[in-house]
Structure 1
Amino acid sequence: MGMVVAVEYVTLDGVFEEPAWSGPYFNDELGNWQAANLREADALLLGRKTYEGFKAAWPQMEAETGDFGVKMNSMPKHVATTTLATPEWNATFLQGEVAGAVAKLKSEPGTLLVNGSASLVNYLTKHNLIDEYRIMIYPVVQGEGRKLWDDGTKIALELTDSWKTTTGVEVITYVPA
């Protein structure tokens, strides 16, 4: 049985979008943790916007990111989209209703890693399809911007791990309670 793991960057006030605010706090600790997340993943599960952003950026970053970039570029990607027609960058587009397609992917062995993709994370949360949430909470308050969780999203979680980087980023892992 497979699992879906969401790995997300958020500010202390829950802002998710345009994470340029993370730069001053990102260090080797987080880099190594992110590399471990990617190493254990068998495929990426992405929303359309994140897929398009990653597809534009990662092929040019492989030389500077080494094994991480090679894995990012070569691994399979499953993309939730109703607007794109031609999959590229080792992608397949989820067919039919997204919840059913993800449930089918989860019926097979392997770990699906979700990065970014707030709309997809909210959708999958509402359908009880995320098995683990790994959230990096940065010591920044943005005061405005899209939050990771949509208004009305409700889920009870159980903390399974937490640690803090030397730059003050809290890394927390939750599973549905």
Structure 2
Amino acid sequence: MSKLIILDRDGVINEDSDNYIRTVDEWIPLPGSIKAIARLSRAGYPIAIATNQSGLARGYFTEDTLRAMHQKMLDLIAAEGGKIDCIKFCPHGPDDQCRCRKPLPGMIEQIEETLNLPAESAWVVGDSLRDLQAGQAMGCKVALVKTGKGIRTLNKGEGLDNVPVFEDLTAFTNFILGEQS
């Protein structure tokens, strides 16, 4: 059984925006998310991120800016004693016919290969149906958080049969670690 946990980024770890997160300053962690990731990491869970970043294809930011956003996140998590083991992103737009853009499972396959860990039975945590669909395609367990676009996804009610729903990443972490919030 895999202890791997795969997180979506925007709306799960940091604030999301319909106008895209375009700068390092706009990358703002959601309350408790950094500590939650660090707790999971310290408890021995490998943590990976799979994030669609079509803002790259749209020219809203560069790969250097994306790397700087991820470095900010990694530094904050490291300051809490945790780490991210792998970050994969899809730089393509919705019409680019790539294999990595969620709901397709390409990034999860890349994570498996990079970490040499099976994704089957790993957890995928997201705030949108496409996050969950990518995980389900790989035999992962999936969870929805209400942060980001989570409430919007919940209100649509599609594809959520037997999917556990959590207030946020802290609540998911409490569930995984068997702790009370």
Q: Same fold (TM over 0.5)?
A: no
In our comparison, the structure showing a higher alpha carbon Rg is: 1
Specify the TM-score bucket, using the shorter chain as the normaliser.
0.3 to 0.5
Which of 1 and 2 has higher RCO (CA within 8 Å, sep 6+)? 1
Give the strand-richer structure, 1 or 2. Answer: 1
Give the alignment's TM-score, normalised by structure 2: 0.43
